[in-house]
Amino acid sequence: MNSLEQNSPPAPERYAEAQALPRTFYHGKTLSIAKALLGKGLYVEQAGQPILAEITEVEAYLAEKDPASHAFRGLTKRNWPMFEAGGTCYVYLSYGLNFCMNVSTQEAGLAEAILFRAARPILGLDLIRSRRPRARNDYQLLSGPGRLCQGLGIDLKHNGWTFDRGDFKIVDLGQRVAPSAIGTSTRIGITKASDKPWRFFIKSSPWLSRKG
C-alpha cells in the first residue's frame, strides 16, 4: 500500500533553499511549540541526497514537574543538548539500540525539549526505504522515534547540531494545521508522569506511531 501519490508533493528544489525556522520559534511555551511543529518539515541532506518529511507526531518534555524528562535530575553527559538554546538537536540511544531525536526549546539553561515521534516522507522516499528494510509498508517508515531516526539517518553525530543548517533544518511547508486538527494523548512508553497529555499528533494522518 502506497498512498504517497495521493498527496501532491511540494517542489523538491524549493526546500533545499528554504530558510530554517527562526530561533525565536523555539522561545514560546514548549507545549505550544510542540503543537506548532506539527505540519512543519524536517530536512536532512546527506551526501547530496535530500530527505524531507512532514512532522506528524511529537511529545513535549518539560523542565520542572516532569519526572519523565531526561533533564529532571539535572545535567548529565547524555542530556546536555537539552540545556542548550532552543533549536538545538538532542539525540540519545534508547534501550541501547535505537536513536531518538529531540529539539530543545527555551533559552540556554532551561532544559525542555520535544521528541520527534513520527513523520510523513515527502522527498527521498527510496533512500528512506533502503534504510528501513523491515518496514512492512510505507506508513511504517518513520512511525516511531527510533524508526524515524533510522529512516532519516540520524545518529549521535547530529547531537548538539542546531536545526538551522543548510543540510539539517526544520522548515515551514507553507501549510497551517488548525488547532481542531490536532490530537492530544498521554506520552508513550513512559512510566513516570504518565498522566500528562503532552503527546500531540495530526489527527487525520495515517503516518503516526499509533492511532489516537
Binding site for DNA (CB under 7 A): 59, 61, 68-71, 73-74, 76-79, 82, 90, 93-98, 100, 102, 113, 115, 132, 134-135, 140, 144-148, 150, 187-192, 209
Q: How far is the CB of 206 from DNA (least distance, A)?
A: 13
Asked whether 198 and 35 are in contact (CB, 8 A), the reply is: no
Q: How far is the CB of 7 from DNA (least distance, A)?
A: 23
Nearer to DNA, 97 or 178 (CB): 97
DSSP result, 126-169:
HHHHHH-TT-SSGGGSSBSHHHHHHHHT--GGGTT-BTEETTEE
Q: Where are the alpha helices (DSSP H) in 6-61?
A: 12-17, 30-37
Q: How far is the CB of 80 from DNA (least distance, A)?
A: 9
Q: How much helix, strand and coil, in percent to the nearest 5, is found in the chain? A: 25, 30, 45
Q: How far is the CB of 94 from DNA (least distance, A)?
A: 4
Nearer to DNA, 18 or 84 (CB): 84
Nearer to DNA, 15 or 61 (CB): 61
AA letter at 163: F
Nearer to DNA, 18 or 70 (CB): 70
